[in-house]
Amino acid sequence: MQAGAASFSTGILATHALAADGVSAMDRERMRSVAAFTAETLSTDHPMPFGADIVSTAAGERLMRAVNRVGPDHDPSAHAETLTIRLACAKLGSGSLKGYTLYTTCEPCAMCMGCALWSGLDRLVFGATIADAGRFVSQIRIPAKEVARRTDLQCVVAGPVEREVCVKLFTDPRMQKAFAMWKKH
């Protein structure tokens, strides 16, 4: 599993109409894509339900994608969102991700949402909710929209998007086995 960059050119997000919930058909397609990418980890020694993509808001090209690496890296801050943001900023040589959208298989925790806000992302689109994740693993149960509401930093938060697809990452028997092991440690 590589947490590197890949090109993604399926059109221009700006031309896709947003539904009343602020979500486009392209958002749904991208969420299914990041969920499929994340599902690839289920066949590895480090299965993970948390994955993220950063995509140019205007051009639709993927800048970076990664999965949670807390266990393998022994780093409690290596959540999929923060790791993807770090890698994207390093690739750009900038601390700003203005002009980009983050897609994540699960609603970000307060740490990850703070990182998204500080990086200047235009939008954040999530799949499963914090409550969904909390059925399986410990969570800081502050909704991403609440974190965004309590700051003067701007980032549109949309979700849940393709929630059922993303929740399947948590309910997969291989992931359930991994969760049982996590609880022992």
Q: Return the C-alpha torsion angle 128, 134, 137, 140, nearest 10.
A: 100
CA angle 107, 166, 76 (to 5 degrees): 50
d(CA 116, CA 67): 16
Q: Coil, helix or strand for 49? A: coil
Q: Which of 133, 160, 132 is nearest to 145 (CA)?
A: 160
Has 81 been annotated as catalytic?
yes
Nearest to 159 by CA among 68, 15, 4, 34: 34
Q: What is the largest CA-CA distance in the chain?
A: 48
**What tokens were used for 28?**
């749904």
> Catalytic pick from 81, 107, 162, 164?
81
CB neighbours of 74 closer than 8 A, spacing ≥ 6? none
Tokens of residue 95, six digits: 């601390």
Q: Indicate the residue type of 170.
A: F
User: Catalytic residue positions?
Assistant: 81
